[in-house]
Amino acid sequence: MHDAETGSLARTPEPPYYAVVFTSLRTEDDAEGYGATAAEMERLAAQQPGYLGIESARADSGVGITVSYWVSPEAIRNWKQVAEHRLAQRMGREKWYRRYRIRVSRVERDYAWERPGEAPAS
């Protein structure tokens, strides 16, 4: 249902960069349409200028968190305005979400750990 990012963590550069934290609670409607659009939006986001990566998880409870990473606030604004993305946002409000919250933040430091012997992140 998701794309190649599933099962991996985003490989982002040294901070600073920007993170959009999108947390949502799903309705129980249209799981198929939602999944297809979510995958398509991940694919499309990855083609935008300034895109650095994405991480996504949704629990059985219906809570989902998607974090996308960008080089600048301008790159985030541009992605927000892409036509297909605007359509997906509208469909989300009409069908898929009970509520959501979007937080735009500036990543100031990060730290990565990997189990010894673990294959490098894809």
With beta carbons less than 8 A apart as the criterion, state whether 66 and 55 touch.
yes
Q: According to CB under 8 A, which one of 63, 84, 86, 90 is a site residue for its own copies?
A: 63
Distance between CA atoms of 93 and 47, rounded to whole angstroms? 24
With beta carbons less than 8 A apart as the criterion, state whether 5 and 54 touch.
yes
Placement of tokens 């990060």 in the chain: 110
Distance between CA atoms of 30 and 36, rounded to whole angstroms? 10
The residues, ordered by sequence, that sit 6+ positions from 14 with a Cβ below 8 Å of its Cβ are none
The residues, ordered by sequence, that sit 6+ positions from 6 with a Cβ below 8 Å of its Cβ are 56
Is residue 83 near its own copies by the rule CB under 8 A? Answer: no
Task: Please say which residue, 59 or 83, places its beta carbon nearer to its own copies.
Answer: 59
Q: According to CB under 8 A, which one of 30, 55, 78, 85 is a site residue for its own copies?
A: 55
Is residue 113 near its own copies by the rule CB under 8 A? Answer: yes
Instruction: Supply the minimum distance, in Å, between the C-beta of residue 18 and its own copies.
Output: 8
Instruction: Supply the minimum distance, in Å, between the C-beta of residue 42 and its own copies.
Output: 13
Is residue 87 near its own copies by the rule CB under 8 A? Answer: no
- Map the footprint of its own copies across residues 88-107, applying CB under 8 A: 93, 97-107
Please report, as ranges, the residues that interact with its own copies according to CB under 8 A.
2, 6-10, 12, 15, 19, 21, 23-25, 27, 55-59, 61-65, 67, 73, 93, 97-115, 118, 121
